[in-house]
Amino acid sequence: EINKLESAEKFYRKLLKDATNPQVVAQARQGLQRIETIEKKRQQQAIATAKSDPKNTEPGLLIIEAISKENQQEAAKNLARIMKIDPYTARMQLQSRGWRIYRLGAIGELKIYGEEMIKAGIPVFWAKISDIEKINIFRVQYFQSISSSEASIVCLNEQDKMGSLNFQWSEVIDKVEGLLPIFMNAMDYDPRRRSEKIRHKQMTQDYANILDLHIPNRRSIIRFCDQNYQYQKGTTHVTNTPKQSPSKLQTTNRTQWNELVNMINQKLGNIKTWSDFTSFGEAASRDYTQLLSRLKYYIDISRKIETMWDPAFHLYSTLVFLKN
Q: Summarize pLDDT for 300-317 with one digit per residue, the tens.
A: 998 888 899 999 999 999
Last residue of some domain: 91, 112, 131?
131
Last residue of some domain: 86, 106, 131?
131
**In a shared domain, residues 191 and 83:** no
Provide, rounded to the nearest whole percent, the portion of the chain with pLDDT above 90: 61
3-state secondary structure of 136: strand
Query: In what helix (H) or strand (E) does residue 310 lie, and over which residues does it extend?
Result: helix 309-323
**In a shared domain, residues 311 and 162:** yes
What's the mean pLDDT in 223-249? Answer: 71
pLDDT at 195: 60
Question: Taking a C-beta distance cutoff of 8 angstroms, is the pair 124, 145 a contact?
Answer: no
**In a shared domain, residues 62 and 205:** no
**In a shared domain, residues 49 and 192:** no
- pLDDT by residue (tens digit) across 252-279? 788 999 999 999 999 999 999 999 999 9
**In a shared domain, residues 261 and 287:** yes
Q: Tell whether the torsion through CA atoms of 295, 300, 304 and 309 is positive or negative.
A: negative
Q: In 3D, which of 156, 125, 143 has the Cα closest to residue 61?
A: 125
Report the domain count for the chain: 2
**In a shared domain, residues 267 and 243:** yes
**In a shared domain, residues 97 and 197:** no
**In a shared domain, residues 101 and 147:** no
**In a shared domain, residues 113 and 144:** no
**In a shared domain, residues 236 and 287:** yes
**In a shared domain, residues 289 and 319:** yes
Per-residue pLDDT band at 239 (split at 50, 70, 90): very low
**In a shared domain, residues 98 and 159:** no
Domain coverage including residue 47: 2-131
What's the mean pLDDT in 281-293? Answer: 95
Last residue of some domain: 70, 103, 131?
131
> Exposure of 213 by Cβ count < 10 A (0-12 exposed, 13-18 middle, 19+ buried)?
buried
